[in-house]
Amino acid sequence: MDRRLLESSLVRLRATGHPLLRSMADDLLAGRVSMRELARNPNIAAPIQAAARRYLHWRNSMSADELKAISDDMAARVQWMRDQVAAGWRKRDNDRDRNSNRGSEREGERGPHAER
């Protein structure tokens, strides 16, 4: 798993999750505990295993068409987010280019910090 994705998930979990999961996320982010130590802790492992069983039950109850529809929907959402991020970067780059062009147009003008 990508470390940045894991870290952002833990930050979100620490802010909004179940109190036990918030504490776990905080300990992981602070480096007080490792993933391996958490997996061996019965207080943590039991709720995670129960959630995994619920997920597997839900997933196994879905038809192949339903799973494909969910996968396609998620792929479209991910692409939309990528497009939004790319548009933000393009805007930033365009703004930066526009600002640097303004500076070169004003080379003859004296700025507040120009030598006199």
Residue 85's pLDDT band (boundaries 50, 70, 90)? very high
Statement to judge: residues 70 and 48 lie in one domain: no
Res 101 pLDDT > 60:
yes
Statement to judge: residues 3 and 57 lie in one domain: yes
Determine, yes or no, domain membership for 112: no
Statement to judge: residues 56 and 73 lie in one domain: no
Statement to judge: residues 57 and 68 lie in one domain: no
Res 97 pLDDT > 90:
no
- Return the CA Rg of the chain: 24
Determine, yes or no, domain membership for 116: no
Closest CA to 21 of 1, 41, 5: 41
* DSSP of 33-90: S-HHHHHH-HHHHHHHHHHHHHHHHHHHTS-HHHHHHHHHHHHHHHHHHHHHHHHHHH
Q: pTM for the full model?
A: 0.45
The string of pLDDT tens digits covering residues 32-82 is 999 888 878 887 778 778 888 998 999 999 999 999 999 999 999 999 999
Domain ranges, residue 25: 1-61
Res 109 pLDDT > 80:
no
Structure-token pair, residue 114: 């120009």
In the chain, the percentage of residues whose pLDDT exceeds 90 is 34
For position 105, what pLDDT does the model report?
55
